[in-house]
Amino acid sequence: MRLQKSSMDFLKNKSFMNYQLLIESYSCGTSLSKQEIELLSLELETQIMNINISTDFGCFKSAPPHICKGLNLKKDTYWIMCLAEILDLHNPPQFGKTKSVEVFDLLLEKGLVIG
């Protein structure tokens, strides 16, 4: 049982690292493939669903300053907001709210940001 839990932790951390590495690469000027955008989109959906479970996940922590700067976002922007911003840049909505606005509204509702 212990090995299985350890394997699950590894997979969770691997997935966690992958989206952060993609965000960092993009913030440094590397373009993203369609598959990578889809991966980021799935990651954002998962993070949004998990906000009701816990706000202790890494996506609710501040991204490093060089990533925020590379995305033209304020210093200490949460990882989840960086993720939403990239998705908005690649798939802007035809109508309605952007992913960034949806995520900000959710963070505001949960008391994680001040409006």
Q: HSE (CB half, 13 Å, CA atoms) of 41?
A: 14
Domain boundaries, the chain: 2-109
Signed CA dihedral, 41, 62, 93, 53: sign only: positive
Output 56 or 21, whichever has higher pLDDT: 21
pLDDT digits (tens, 9 = 90+) for 48-87: 998 888 777 888 899 999 999 999 999 999 999 999 999 9
SS3 at position 90: helix
pTM of the model: 0.81
Two structure tokens written together for 87: 């998705």
Residue 3 has pLDDT above 50, yes or no: no
Residues 40, 22: contact at Cβ < 8 Å? Answer: yes
Output 20 or 55, whichever has higher pLDDT: 20
What does the pLDDT read at residue 10?
A: 43
